[in-house]
Chain A
Amino acid sequence: MPSEYEALVAALKLTSIPFAEYGWKTRPEGAYGVVSLEFEAGTLNGDGEKGDRAWEGSIDLFYPKLSDRTDLIDEVEETLTEIVGDSWSLNSTQYETGTGLFHVEWVFQCLDTPEEGEADGVPDEG
C-alpha cells in the first residue's frame, strides 16, 4: 500500500467528515466521504526494477446541504494539499436528484516512497 495513500486516509479520518475506504455498507446521515486507491498510474523503471510507483485514486464527498459546500470542500482540499502536494484535481461535481445529495469528486496521485523529511505524511496540527 503506498505510504502517501495510507497517510491520506489517516488524515481524512481526522477531518470533521466521516470517511470510509472504498464505500459504506450503510450510508451515514449528513455529509460523508469515500476514499479509494484505484490503479497504478505510472512507474519510474530502471535497472530491471520498478522504482518510484505512482498510484491514482479518488475522493468522493457527498453532502445534502449546499450551505455546507465551502467548508467541506476546503477541508478535503487542504488535506489533499498537505499530503500529496499539488498532485490532485477536482474531477467532477454532480447533483443527485434521487437522493438530493451533492457529489464532488477529486482525483489524486500518490507515491509509495515518501520524500525525505516527510516521514509520516500526517499533517501538522495548527
Chain B
Amino acid sequence: MAYQMKVDGIEEISAMLEKMDKEAAGIAAQALYDGAGVMAEEVRKGAAAIRTAPFKYAREGERLPSPEEKEIILNAGAGIAKFDESGTEINTSVGYKASGYAELNGKVKPVPLIVNAVNSGTSFMKKQPFIRKARNSGSPKAMNAMKAKITEAFEAMTKE
C-alpha cells in the first residue's frame, strides 16, 4: 500500500531559507551593534555615577578620582570596537581601548590608564568597578535587544 503526500509552498520555504542563509550574517551584525549600544550606555551610566573628591596626593591611604579624571572618562565615552568576523562568529567589545590621550594636571596621559585606575583601583586610588557593574547589569538587557532585532528581522523576512 502506498500513501501519497502533498506539501504546498515548499518552493517558497526553500526560497526563504536560502534568503535567510544569505542575510543571517547581516542580521547578526545589526543585532550585535544594538547589543553593544546597550552595553555602551550602561558603561556611560556607570561612569556618570563615579564618586569624586578634589585631587590630593595620597601618600599613605587612598583617594577618590578627581572631578577632572571623571570628566576625561565621560568625555571619552565607551566605544564599540570594530566587528571581528571569524567563521560563524561575529564579536566586538565595548570599552576605552581606543580612547586616546588626555591632559591631566599638566601631563598627557592615556585615557585607558585613567579608566583602569578608577575601575580596578591602585595602591592610592579607591576602586570603583563601574565597567564590571555595567557588564553585570547590561548583559541581560543587551541579550534582549539582540533577540528583539533578530526576531524583527526574521519576521520581516517571512512577511515578504
- Residues of A at the B interface (CB closer than 8 Å) are 23-27, 34, 36, 38-39, 41-42, 56, 58, 60, 62, 91-92, 94, 96, 98-99, 101, 103, 105, 107
Given contacts A27-B123, A41-B136, A56-B132, contact A92 B60 (CB under 8 A): no
**Contact present for B129 and A58 (CB under 8 Å):** yes
Closest to A99 in B: B123
**Contact present for B133 and A39 (CB under 8 Å):** yes
Interface residues of B toward A: which range?
Answer: 10 to 19
List of A residues within 8 angstroms of B123 by Cβ: 27, 62, 96, 99, 101, 103
CB proximity of A34 to chain B, nearest CB, Å: 8
CB proximity of A88 to chain B, nearest CB, Å: 13
**Contact present for B133 and A96 (CB under 8 Å):** no
CB proximity of B112 to chain A, nearest CB, Å: 12
Contacting residues of chain B (58-107) with chain A, CB-CB under 8 angstroms = 60-62
**B52 in the interface (beta carbon within 8 A):** no
Stretch at the interface among B26-34, B35-43, B114-122, B150-158: B114-122
List of A residues within 8 angstroms of B61 by Cβ: 23-27
Given contacts A91-B120, A94-B120, contact A23 B136 (CB under 8 A): no
